Amino acid sequence: MIRNTQHAIRNTQWLVGGITIALVLLALLAPLPAALAGGAAPQERHITISARSFAFEPGTVRVNRGDTVIVNLESTDVVHGLYVDGYGVATQAEPGRPGQLTFVADHVGAFRFRCNVACGNLHPFMIGKLEVGPNLTWLRAIAATLITAVGALAVFWKH
Amino acid sequence: MRYAISETPVIKRVLRSRWLQWSLTALTLLFFVLAIIAGLAGTPAGNRNFGIVFVWIVWWALLILLLVPFAGRLWCGVCPIPAPGEWLQRRALVQPRPGGKLYTLSKQWPRAFRNIWLQNAGFLGVALFSSIILTTPMATALVLLGFMIVAIGTSLVFERRTFCRYLCPVGGFIGLYSQVAPLELRVKDTAVCASHTEKTCYTGSDAGYGCPWLVFPGGLTNNTTCGLCTECLKTCTRDNIAIFVRQPGADLLKTTGHKLDEAYKGLIMLACGFIYSTVLIGPWGVLKETARAVGTPGWFAYAGIFLALNLAVFPGLFWLAVRAGSIPNPKYPMSRLFADYAAVLVPLGLTAWVAFSLSFVLINFSYAWSVLSDPLGWGWNLLGTVGLKWTPYIPGLVPYLQVPVLLLGLTAALALALRTARQYGQSPWAATPVAIFCAAATLGLLGLYLA
């Protein structure tokens, strides 16, 4: 009797665990309707980013999916670069000689942009953030975390 | 369910050889000395200096992404920091002195400090100045040199590897997180140990030294204090000690009997994971500047907030979560519950550090190739790789690696929270505030990386 009960509990745990993993994968990977993935009509965005040791100003840049982003990089002290993670595009600037960079923001989410010219001790941490909205990666991660939490509690509640 | 991997004849022979540990330690010592020389005499540009690139990118990646999660304290077994002191203690490099005799004053470490509080304090000290230490070759060199000098001094005065056991700021978290590893050194049969009056694993013998970590292997129940130096494999005359492959995290299944110093270590590591993710890889330049401007009013404010987060805010929130869960059944002391529920911080904290490390290790690893050819930044090109440019590895995929890693840690943490409640005879509901704490911490970290 006890053995049967334990067996049933274990089967239920596997079932709940499997459903949880499936839901987490769904939350993270399921394709979404285009209406959700892109809000406003694409437009051209001219953004000036000022670089100094060891910060970008503004540190966070927000655009919409599909926007054509034209970055004007200005350096106020030494030579700095700007490389955008996930897009693989880069430019460089030195005082008085700005750099320019153009790309279409076709991936949604938050991406780090970083200096790609050694500019001093904190160079590896000279980082900014590009948000291509709506930030579905973050929303998906929230959903996956909540599903994981509820699922894990359900699986291990009685075990 | 475990498998004695050291019983495989080839592995057994290799592990019993005194040359294995010595040669690996000699190799790491070579890198260590080069890192110090590079820091003292090399270029001050961190990304072109062997000391910075190999310590904080290559070694760190190896440690937190591979060694600790999969091999526990294996690094401690080949760590160069205590090596010179240990060799001085032994007055030998490879072969043991008769009877495993050590040349030291053999003072016992004060009883009040036989815990990891000093390691917690040391880690906090290093972490507070990390934006300088991690990026300034000279600072890295001085810190490494300082560690080695303290280790040598400690080994001359105190018994065995007192430095590793009670002082090393790195050893504290390696020990804590080594409980996750699918590898353990244990005795095969405790009854054999009980009947073995000589206890050569602890006292030493002609075959080797007594446990450098001041541990009686027969009493080992978790990985936190075993340095995997394999000395006991050599000195056990009954062939009763082995290295086992086991279920990952097996140490954590025993969720009672934890100590407050370990709980604080878990909280400090989690808090530092948050702080580093905010200050170092966040987009707020002013925070980086403030953390680096030591001695300015802004830095003192930063230091105050840093210490408050580590010593009061995170522990306070965790205490509240544990307290909230225990209200319906308050028969156990809060200090015990607090320390035991803190086991959840082991998978949670380790995965937080893995996620944080992924975000800068993969991006900056390519500096290693040019530094190999020109470790001091003096214009050499020893291996012909100095011209290789900085290339971030899979930067767009980093968030997609961080999410599953953090969710894995959250799942393990919640399982442990419920297990702790059960072992105390509490209702599973008692674990839910701690579960909420863990989920909030995961969301917070994900927010820093993805939002």
Which of B288, B290, B429 should be substituted to probe chain A, the one whose Cβ sees the most A Cβ atoms within 10 Å?
A: B288
Pair of tokens at residue A4: 């049967």
CA B117 to chain centre: 14
Cβ neighbours of B86 (radius 10 Å): 24
Query: Which DSSP category does B5 fall into?
Result: G
% pLDDT > 90, chain A: 77
pLDDT for residue A37 = 60
Query: β-pairing, A44-52 with A68-75?
Result: parallel
C-alpha–C-alpha distance, residues B244 and B237, integer Å: 19
- pLDDT of the residue at A1: 63
Contact A110 B450 (CB under 8 A): yes
Closest CA of chain B from A86, distance in Å: 4
Q: How far is A116 from chain B (nearest CA, A)?
A: 8
Mark yes or no for CB contact B131/A125 under 8 Å: yes
Q: Work out the pLDDT band at A9, boundaries 50, 70, 90.
A: confident
Task: Choose the closest CB to A85 out of B280, B289, B392.
Answer: B392
Q: What is the pLDDT of residue A158?
A: 81
In chain A, whose CA is at the least distance from the CA of B395? A85
Which of B48, B285, B439 is nearest residue A59 as measured by Cβ atoms? B285
pLDDT given at position A34: 67
Taking alpha carbons only, the member of B256, B291, B284, B445 closest to residue B357 is B445
Q: How confident is the model at residue A106 (pLDDT cuts 50, 70, 90)?
A: very high
Mutate to test the interface with A, among B132, B280, B390, B401 (most CBs of A within 10 A): B390
Alpha helices (runs of H) in B42-182, residue ranges in sequence order: 50-52, 60-61, 68-71, 74-78, 83-90, 117-128, 130-133, 137-157, 162, 169-177
H-only helix segments in B158-203: 162, 169-177, 190-195, 200-203
How far apart (Å, rounded) are the C-alpha atoms in residues B120 and B133?
18
**Interface with B, mutate which of A92, A117, A153 (most B CBs under 10 A):** A153
Partners of residue B99 on adjacent β-strands? none
Cβ distance B439 to A125 less than 8 Å, yes or no, reads: no
Nearest C-alpha neighbor of B390 from the set A88, A109, A101, A99: A88
B428–A158 CB contact, under 8 Å? yes
Residue A59: closest C-alpha in chain B: B283
pLDDT along chain B (451 residues), means of 10: 94 95 97 98 95 97 98 97 97 92 95 97 97 96 98 97 98 97 97 94 95 96 96 96 97 88 98 97 94 96 98 98 91 94 98 96 95 96 94 92 97 97 94 98 97 89
pLDDT at position A41, please? 86
Write the CA distances from B314 to B122, B146, B318, integer angstroms. Answer: 18, 30, 6
pLDDT value at A74 more than 90: yes
CB contact under 8 A, A56 and B285: yes
N-terminal to C-terminal alpha carbon distance within chain A: 17
**Smallest Cβ distance to B396: which of A85, A114, A141?**
A85
Phi and psi (nearest 5°) for A18?
A: -65, -45
Q: Is B126 near chain A, with CB under 8 Å?
A: no
**Whole-angstrom Cα distance, residue B298 to residue B293?**
8
Mutate which: A148, A150, A158, vs B, most B CBs within 10 A: A148
B-chain CB neighbours of A136 within 8 Å are none
Show the CA angle centred on residue B417, arms to residues B167 and B264, nearest 5°: 20
Whether chain A has a CB inside 8 Å of the CB on B345: the answer is: no
Across the interface, do A112 and B395 touch by the CB < 8 Å criterion? Answer: yes
Residues from chain A that touch B407, judged by Cβ atoms under 8 A, are 24, 144-145, 148
Residues B322-337 as b or e (16 or more Cβ within 10 Å = b): beebbeeeeeeeeebb
Is residue B60 a contact partner of residue B126, using CB atoms and an 8 Å limit?
no
B403 touches chain A (CB under 8 A): yes
Domains of chain B, by residue range, sit at: 1-99+106-253, 259-450
Nearest CA in chain A to B131: A122
Instruction: Please give the structure tokens belonging to residue B158.
Output: 């105190």
Contact A152 B415 (CB under 8 A): yes
Residue A138 or A159, more confident:
A138
Four-residue CA torsion sign, B296, B298, B302, B305:
positive
Q: Enumerate residues 6+ apart whose C-beta is below 8 A from A144.
A: A24, A27, A28, B403, B407
Q: How confident is the model at residue A10 (pLDDT cuts 50, 70, 90)?
A: confident
pTM to 2 decimals? Answer: 0.95
Q: What pLDDT sits at residue B421?
A: 95
SS3 B43: coil
C-beta atoms of B46 and A24 within 8 A:
no
Q: How many CB pairs under 8 A join A and B?
A: 132
- Give the minimum alpha-carbon distance from A70 to chain B in angstroms, rounded to a whole number: 20
Calculate the alpha carbon distances from A11 to A1, A7, A20, A84 in Å. Answer: 15, 6, 14, 47
Residues of chain A contacting residue B446, judged by C-beta atoms under 8 Å apart = 138, 141-142, 145
* Helix/strand/coil for B146: helix
Give residues with Cβ within 8 angstroms of B74, minimum separation 6: B67, B183, B228
CB contacts of A9 in chain B (<8 Å) are: none
Distance, in Å, from the CA atom of A40 to the CA atom of A35, rounded to the nearest integer, reads 10
* CA–CA distance, B93 with B279 (Å, rounded to integer): 43
pLDDT at residue number B111: 96
Which chain A residues are Cβ-neighbours of B282 within 8 angstroms? 127, 129
Please report the sign of the dihedral spanned by the C-alpha atoms of residue B334, residue B335, residue B337, residue B343.
positive
Cβ(B86)–Cβ(B29) below 8 Å:
no
B418 with A153: Cβ contact below 8 A: yes
- Residue A116's closest chain B neighbor by CA? B390
Contact B286, B296 (CB under 8 A): no
Give DSSP secondary structure letters for B376-438.
Answer: TSSS--SSS-TTPPP--SSGGGHHHHHHHHHHHHHHHHHHHHHHHHHHTT--GGGGHHHHHHH
For residue B268, what are the contacts with CB-CB under 8 A and spacing of at least 6? B120, B123, B124, B127, B310, B311, B314
CB contact under 8 A, A83 and B407: no
Q: Tell me, what's the pLDDT at A3?
A: 73
**Exposure on the CB side of residue B89, measured as CA atoms within 13 A:** 28
Nearest residue to B90 (alpha-carbon basis) of B196, B269, B210:
B210
Return the residue in A112, A115, A129 with the most chain B beta carbons within 10 A, the one to mutate for interface testing. Answer: A112
pLDDT per residue over A27-72, tens digit each? 999 987 766 665 678 999 999 999 998 999 999 999 999 999 999 9
